[in-house]
Amino acid sequence: LVGAILGSIIGYVLRELLPILDLGVKIGLSPVTVDLHLFDLTFGMQVKITLASIMGLLATFLLLDIK
């Protein structure tokens, strides 16, 4: 998880120099709102999987030698 997060951060920072690192897919649920008259609840979640995050995840596996 840490490798994917670090890879995403590096990809975000370097996206101007290497735009291919920021290519990815968004997976998730669009926001759903429930009105309960007293208050509103909004639920939703999205995850963007980029090339940089996958590279960071693989680098973590190689560095930690996870099998």
Q: Distance (Å, rounded) from C-alpha 25 to C-alpha 28? A: 10
Report the predicted TM-score, pTM, of the whole model to 2 decimal places: 0.66
Question: 14 with 20: CB under 8 angstroms?
Answer: no
- Per-residue model confidence as pLDDT tens digits over 26-35: 999 999 999 9
User: Average pLDDT, whole number, for the chain?
Assistant: 87
In the predicted model, is pLDDT for residue 56 greater than 80? Answer: yes
Scanning 14-67, the segments in alpha helix (DSSP H) are: 51-64
Query: Quick check: helix, strand or coil at residue 29?
Result: strand
